[in-house]
Amino acid sequence: MQQQYEWIATAAFGLEGVVARELGRLGIEAKAENGGARFTGTPEDALRANLWLRSADRVLLVMGRFEARSFEALFEGVRALPWEAFIGVNTRFPVSGKCARSQLMSVRDCQAITKKAVVERLKEKYRVSWFEEQGETVAIDVALHGDIAQLTLDASGVALNRRGYRTWNGEAPLRETLAAALVSLSPWRPGMPLHDPMCGTGTLLIEAAMRMADRAPGLTRDFALEQWRGMPAPAFAAIREEAKERFSPERIEGISGADIDPQAVELARRHLRQAGLEGRIRFDVADARTCQRPESSGVFLSNPPYGERLSDRKSCEALYKEMGQLLRRHPGWSLCAITSHPGFERCFGRRADKKRRFYNGRLECEFMTFGAPQGSRRKPSPRQP
């Protein structure tokens, strides 16, 4: 039986439970905690998590946790960990760090001591006095919180929101991982109509379409752990091949979007093409205030302007009122929106049936759901998060 390790799938505030459920649908038991979801598994499980998690930021391998009230304790604790299992003679191993409510509050000193301790450990194991660090990268992080040090390795590399399809951004880009979480938390399920009347560059709808097509969000990118020493390359190749075989874009139907800005719509079409889903979502140039859907039920899902500038606030509040009228014109539909505007419900004309709090970048936002679709035609969801 292959060795099991402790891993953390990190997540933004409010998304920890979403990520834990996504891991559960992958057959990986996980426990949500502040900042992510922790699980035990093999390197193959970690690769599946990197490939398939839609709402997580990164996957980290936990090398160890121990009390560190002094720099000496930190040095000895780090040196005791089996770094040679993942770091070779030529491996680059940069060290990042963070400290919170710890007696060791100098991040720079903690990084330097961690680096020195790892070097001393590797000198013993490899019997060399100098490391060129010109090979693959294994990124180490030392985090001290309440005098407990946690050492992790970054198994993802580039953050997981970087799917590879979005190379142009609109005015208010929504991170892919948050967009995927909003899709999951909305009443929409594959087989139901989904429309975004203010789609911008299309991120919400593309994340929904990838879910409907059973497309792994990490399908076209690499992950850091694939370059680590001792990893099961043939098993990794098989996992990737399975993900490719599961991708079925012909499953996508009933997803559409519109925006009043022709440039944003053109970018949405480019992103769709880069995601391998060209022609699977209809994007139109249209004003949300005149939106009229023919279906008797479905879900409106949108990231409307927030009106952060005073000069924009009145126009945004008028738009929120129009969104309330949009839902009243479609009594069988529900409407979901994420916003940082504190008066959204007042402008919309009714209180939300459900609310969840998130951060969109540095903005504290609420994700609101109004109404619930009735009599919707549903299809079984693909076997993935």
Residue 131 reports pLDDT greater than 80: yes
Distance (Å) of CA 184 to CA 24, 190, 212, 213: 14, 10, 11, 14
What pLDDT, on a 0 to 100 scale, did the predictor assign at position 74?
97
What pLDDT, on a 0 to 100 scale, did the predictor assign at position 375?
46
What pLDDT, on a 0 to 100 scale, did the predictor assign at position 326?
98
Report pLDDT digits (tens) over 41-56.
Answer: 999 999 999 999 999 9
Judge whether 58 and 154 are in contact, CB under 8 Å.
yes
> What are the beta bridge partners of residue 36?
10, 33
- Residue 2 confidence class, pLDDT cut points 50, 70, 90: confident
Judge whether 143 and 152 are in contact, CB under 8 Å.
yes
Closest CA to 70 of 110, 120, 119: 110
Report pLDDT digits (tens) over 203-229.
Answer: 999 999 999 999 999 999 999 999 999
Distance (Å) of CA 176 to CA 162, 189, 330, 360: 8, 18, 28, 11
What pLDDT, on a 0 to 100 scale, did the predictor assign at position 379?
45
What pLDDT, on a 0 to 100 scale, did the predictor assign at position 306?
86
Indicate the pTM of the whole model. Answer: 0.92
Quick one: average pLDDT of 56-60?
98
- Residue 373 confidence class, pLDDT cut points 50, 70, 90: low
Quick one: average pLDDT of 126-151?
94
Judge whether 268 and 284 are in contact, CB under 8 Å.
no
Residue 308 reports pLDDT greater than 80: no
Pairing mode of beta strands 140-145, 148-154: antiparallel
What pLDDT, on a 0 to 100 scale, did the predictor assign at position 279?
95
How does the average pLDDT of the chain come out, rounded? 93
Judge whether 339 and 156 are in contact, CB under 8 Å.
no
What pLDDT, on a 0 to 100 scale, did the predictor assign at position 380?
44
Distance (Å) of CA 271 to CA 56, 117, 188, 206, 255: 21, 45, 22, 8, 15
Written as six digits, the tokens of 39 are 């699980």
Quick one: average pLDDT of 188-196?
96
Greater pLDDT, 103 or 351 = 351
CA dist 187 and 255 (Å) reads: 14
What pLDDT, on a 0 to 100 scale, did the predictor assign at position 195?
98
Quick one: average pLDDT of 185-194?
96
Residue 247 reports pLDDT greater than 50: yes
Per the rule left: phi > 0, alpha: psi between -120 and 50, beta: everything else, 117 is: alpha
